[in-house]
Structure 1
Amino acid sequence: MRLRVLGVLGSLLCLIAAILSMLLLQSISRNTTQDIQLSRLASVNRFVELGTYAQDATDHEELQLEMDAYSELFGEGLLISLGGLQFTSGGIDPLDPEVGAVQRRAALNLDQTGIEPISPFSEDAALIARPFGNSTQVLGSVVMEVNLDGARQAILQSWGAVVLVSLSVCAGMLLLAERLSAWVLRPVHRLSDAVAELATTQSPTPLQEAGPPELRALSRSFQHMAQSVADSLAQQRELIAETSHQLRNPIAALRLRVDLLKLRLGEQAEPEGVAAVERELERVETLLDGVLRLASAEHRLSERSAGTPAAPGTVVPARLLTEEVERQSVAARERGMQLRLDLNAPGSLDARAQCNGFELQQMIAEVLENCFKYASGGPVDLSVADRGRSVDLVIRDYGPGLAAHELSAAAERFWRAESSRQSPGTGLGMAIVDRLVRANGGELLLQAPEGGGLQVTLRLPAAGPGTMVGAAGEQA
C-alpha cells in the first residue's frame, strides 16, 4: 500500500515539477530572445541612421569602417544596400537565398524585426532587416545576420540550472511524500498486524498511538474492541471448564440415586429402564470429560499462540508408543483387535521429539480410542518415522475410514461422520488431538490410505540428538 501511495504521489509531484520546469524553460528562452532582439534592433537602427546620411565616398568609407568594427566585436554579419551599392561585413553572404529574400522584402518597405524563440539545440542564425528612406521612396536597407551562439549557451546554462533545481525539488518532495505516507500508513500497518495477530492468538497487542488524529482514535477503538474480544473468549473458556466441572457433582449424585433406587426396588425395577438411565449418565459423563480435555487443550494452544508457551519436553516417541500399546493391549483384545507396533525403520528407536510427554500420551490414547470405536475387529498399525527436522508418529486402522471431503472437517469440535453417528461418541477426540499437537508446535495429518481405513500422523518437531530424556519420557 505504501508503494502504491508513493507511486501516485511521486508521479503527481513529478508531473507538477515537470510542468513548472517547462514553463520556466520557455520563459527563459523568451526573455533571452527578447533581450537579443531589442539590442540588435538598436544596432540596426544605428546603421539605418548611418546609411541614411551616407551621401559621398567619404561617408561610405566611414560606414564600412563602422560595419567592420561591429562585425569584429559581435561576430555578426551586416549587409547594407544603399542605392545601387552594397556594403558587407562579417560572414554574411549576399547570394544566400534567405538573405536575398529578406532584401527583397526590405526593398518593398517591409521590415523583419522578429526573432523566433531561441533554442539551445539549433544552429541557424537569425536575420533581421529594416528599410530606410524618405516619405516617398526606399533608399536602402540594413540586413543583420544575428549570431545566437552566445544566447544559446546562456540559455543552455540556465536550463541546466533549472533542471538541477527541479530534480532537487522533486527529490525533496518525494522525501516529504515518503515521510508523510509513512506517518499516515504506519499506524494502518500496525493496526493490520494487530488484527491478524488477534485472529491468530486471540489476545490483544498493545498499539502505540501515532499518525493523524483519526487514526489515533481508530487505534484506541480497536484496542478496546480487541480487549473486549479477548476477555469474552477467556470468559467463555472459563465458563465451559467451570460448568463441566460443576456438573460432575450432580451427575455423581444422580448415579448414586439410581444405584439406591435399584437397591430399594429390587426385583420390581425395570432392567431396561434403569440401563437406559445409566447409559445416558455415562454418555453425559463422557461428554463432560471430553469438554474438559478440549478446554485444557485449547488453553494450551492459546498460550502458544499468545507467544507464552510452556517449555516443551523432549520425548522418545518409540518409548511412549510401546508403553501405550502395552497399556491398551487388553482393551484391544476385548474388541478383537491387534495392535501392531513397527519400530524397524531407520532411526525410529532413537528419534527424539519436542513435546510434552503427558500430552503426547493423551494424543496417542485419543487416536487409539477412535480406532477402538470405529475400526473394531481389525488390526491397528503403529510406527515412528524420523524425517530429520520432524518426527512422525503414524497410527493406521483398517476400518471404514473417512471420505476425502470429510478429512478436513474431522478435527472440528463435535463433528462426526455420517456413517458413524449411530455409534457412541462425542466428536471431540480428533479436536483434542489437533489442539494438543499444535500446542506443541506440531501438525495433525489425516489421510485415507489405499486399502481403506484412516491414517493419523502426529508430526512433531525433532529435538537435538544430545538432549537428555528422563525415565518417564520427558526431558530430564
Structure 2
Amino acid sequence: MVVVLAIVAAVPLANYIATSASRTLFLSRSNDADWFATMAESPLQTGDIASLRELAVRYHELYNTPVFVVDVDRRVIATSRSGVDVAESDLDSALDSTLAGRLPTEPPSLWPWQTGEMVVARPVVNNGRVLGAAVLRVPTDKARDQVERGLLLLLGGLLISIGAVVIGIVRPVTRWVLRPLDQLDNATHQVTRGALDTRVATDGRAPELRRLGDSFNSMALSLHQARQREREFVADASHQLRTPLTSARIHIEGLSRLSPTARFALSDIDRLGRIVQRLSRLAGSDRPGDVEGSDDALDLAQAVKERLVGWKAVYAADDLELIIGEMVPGGVAPELEVDDILDVLLDNASKYGAPPVEVSVLRDGTEVVLSVRDHGLGLGSRDLKKVGERFWRSAHHREMPGTGLGLAIVRSEAARVGGRVVARPPIGGGLVIEVRVPLIDDYDM
C-alpha cells in the first residue's frame, strides 16, 4: 500500500519534470522566434530577403536550430537549410494556428523515450495584418536528457521516501511540506484577486521552500511597485499639466477677444483640462460614490443624442456609418461625464472596430445602459476580461496608436457614480461595450 501511494505521488512529479523542461525550452526559443518575426516584417513587404536568409543561416550554425520564414501563402521565403516541407503534420498544424493569428499552444511534455523536434512559430504582423510566419525546428535531445536525469533523481527520491515511510516519518514530513505550500497557494489566490501586498513567511522552512517563498514575495513586490508606478505616473502627469494649462487658458482667453482662431484654441484648452481632470480621477479611488452628489438627475438618452450630433459629422467625414439606435429616457447621476465616455467609445469603435457603429440607450432593471456596438473582429474571451485595465491593449491593436487608458477612464467614470463597464461579443460578430449606471428612480421623464 505504501509503495502504491509513493508511486501515485511520483506520477505528477514526473509529469512536472517533463512539462517544465518542455515549457522552458519553448519559452527560450519563443523569444528567438519573436525576434525573427520582427526582422522578417520588412523583407516580407519589400521582397529583399537576402539579409533575412543570412540571419537564418547564422542562427542555425550557432544554435543548431533550423529556422525558416514563410509568407501568408506558406511559400518558404528564407530558410537556413533546404528541403523544408511545410506539409508535414506538425508544421502544417503550427502554421494553421500562427497564420490565423491565434496564440500558440503549449507544446506536449518531453519524455526520454520519444523523438522528434519542437516547432515554435510566431506570426509576422504589420498593422494588425498577418504577413507570414517565422518557424524554428528546435532539437529536443538535450532537454530529453535533462528529463531523464530528473526522472532518475525522482526514482531515487521515491526509494528514499519508501524507506522513510518504513521508519514512520510520513505524517510529520507530509504536514511539514504541505503546510507552506498550502499557505503559498492561498497567497497566490490573494494576489490574483488584487491583494498585491500579500506576502508569505519564509522562516523555518526547507531551503527550497524558502527560495520559493522569497521568489513569490519578490514577484508580489514587483507587481505592487508596478501598480504604484502606474498610479504615480498618471497622478504626476495630471498634476504637472494642470498649472501650464491654466496659465495657457488665461493668455488665450485674452487673445480670444481679438482673434476667432484663438477661440478655437480656447476650446481645445478646455478639452485638455477635462482630460487632465479625468486622469486625476483615474489616479485616485475607483470606488463608487466618490463624487459630490447633486439633486438634479441627468437624462442619459438626451445627453447622448446631443453629443452624437457632432460625432455623426465626424463619422460622415471618414465615410463611416453611425447608427443611432433606441434611446430610452432614464435618469442618472448628473456627475456622469457622458461626453467623455461617449468620445472614448466612439473613437475606439472607429479605430479598432468596423462600421456600422450603433449607439443606443436602454433600461435594464435598475440600470440605464449606454451601448456602443461595432462590427469588427471583436475580442477573445481572455481579452474581454481585461477590458478596462490600465495600459492594457489587445495583441491585435498594439501596433496602432494609443495609450491603453481610454477604457480605463470610462470604467473609472462609471465607478464614480456606482456603475460598471461590460464588454461582450454580440450575435453576428463584433464587440459591444456597455456602460451600466444606476437608474435614479424618481427621474421625471
Q: TM-score, normalised by structure 1?
A: 0.40
Greater Rg by CA? 1
